[in-house]
A and B are shown apart, each in its own frame.
Chain A
Amino acid sequence: MSVEEMIRQELEDAVSTVPKRSPAGIESIQRRGGRRLVVARTGLALAGVAVFAGMFGVSLLLAPNATPSQATQPLGQDGGTVLIADDRIPVGDLVEAFSEGPMYYGATSPPPTFDTSPFGDEIPLEVGQVKVADPDAWDGPTIYIGEYRGESIFLNEGPFGGVDTKCLWIGPTPQLCGDSGTIPLLAPPRPGPQLGLWLLVPDATSVVVLKQGNVSIGWQSPVSGVAILPLPGEGTYQLVALDQNGVEISQIALPFWSETSTPAPDPNDPTTTTTTIP
């Protein structure tokens, strides 16, 4: 039996093990589809009324023309974007076109026009020699974010559990995959300090400041919306996104506690309660 025949047989067997399900039924499908058609046609009817009203000179208050939020932009050029797991992410120039998809340099953030010295040292994501372990293992476009401790960092679309998600690679293996955007992330344990990550920082972000309480620890200019900041130890941190003028755009909390330690309750947090067991 050839390999192809074995695969075919195995898949047929696998499909036969899928629990039998009864379809929702043609009536249900038609009812649901019909309901949506009514809604759609009502919308069309309202649009038609608006057109007729306009023809007869009735002034209507209309929303200003919307700008397409996801305009297609040229790829591989400065200012272009690529689609990664349904998010349009800005990229720079083309690094190389691999067989399964192109790799781009990350897009730099707008440079800050304010004094960054109060926020501590810059923790830059530097561009270096791209070290690719196995580009053929990747599908679709990949963004080269920069270097960290001698390892190249990439962002691309990776498969996980049947769904395409954003994957961040530090070195040759994917470190984190998921749909995290504004969710703060911790990279899995690796040599060196724990890394705090923020994927998809807000569009106008110029710098991301790492803070603990009121103390600024350092800052970074995100690349293609990605900020990666080493955490000096356990604690609850804040990642603060500032625009080019130093105005805060957004802020997320990033708690980092090892499994063996427990964070001390915050006395100012109204949701925190302390129970004493006799």
Chain B
Amino acid sequence: MGTFVTFYVSCWWMKEVMESPVSDSELFLDFGVFYREVWNRVYGPLAVTLRDHELAAEAVDEAMVRAFQKWSKVRSYDNPVGWVYRVAMNYARNRLRRRWREVSWGAVEPTWEMATPNPELMAAMLNLPIHQRQIVVLRFVFDWSNGEIGNALGIPEGTVKSRLHRALGVLKEVVK
């Protein structure tokens, strides 16, 4: 039995080592198309969510590297863009944790001049809790449904719904 298991593991290892997606030119081309289409699509909204465009660019690059490494798997997902967004968001959160060892409570200004027609509404959006802000961005920029947002962020659809409801409540107060 032990020998059989060892043999099986060895075969799996051989398969893993030999089956390199790097050598698959079709996957290369496929990933290249995805990369060109998706990079900017994720970068802008992520910058708004994070209020930091430099970090957003770094995070999207990192997410793309990881997508490339697992491309044969990621391309088969229902929403590969959502996967990239989620990985980029997680990367950014970890980077920010390292950067801010201690903070006091308050708002942080975006890292660029964000002149919009309704500054009060934008300020309210930027001051939403990150949980709510990212859902607002995904809903209104990406036009995703609650289910799609839940899948992308790995949270239940009901949670998406309640957070969106709460965020819209705050924003409606500002618009009144």
A→B interface (CB under 8 Å): 3-4, 6-19, 21, 23-24, 26, 28-30, 32-34, 36-37, 40-41, 44-45, 47-48, 51-52, 54-55, 85-86, 99-100, 136, 139-140, 158-165, 173-180, 183, 185, 188
Contacts and interface: CB of A to CB of B under 8 A. Distances in A.
Nearest to B131: A139
Contacts of B85: none
B92 A17 contact: no
Given A48-B10, A162-B96, A174-B105, A11 B43 contact: no
Contacts of B76: none
B93 A163 contact: yes
B162 A100 contact: yes
B141 A185 contact: no
Q: Is the interface of B mostly helix, strand, loop or mixed?
A: helix
Nearest to B33: A26
B103 to A, nearest CB: 5
Contact of B100 (A10, A17, A51, A163): A163
A3 B13 contact: no
Contacts of B114: 14, 17
B140 A8 contact: yes
Given A7-B136, A86-B94, A185-B102, 14 more contacts: A10-B117, A11-B141, A14-B122, A17-B112, A34-B22, A44-B17, A48-B13, A139-B132, A140-B131, A159-B129, A162-B49, A163-B92, A177-B103, A183-B102
Nearest to A174: B105
Interface in B37-96: 39-40, 43-45, 47-53, 56-57, 60-61, 64-66, 68-69, 92-94, 96
B52 A29 contact: no
Contacts of B168: 3-4, 7
B93 A29 contact: no
Nearest to A36: B69
Given A159-B130, A163-B130, A179 B43 contact: no
A143 to B, nearest CB: 18
6 contacts: A3-B175, A14-B125, A15-B48, A26-B31, A48-B17, A163-B97
Nearest to A160: B103
B112 A11 contact: no
Given A29-B35, A85-B97, A165 B103 contact: yes
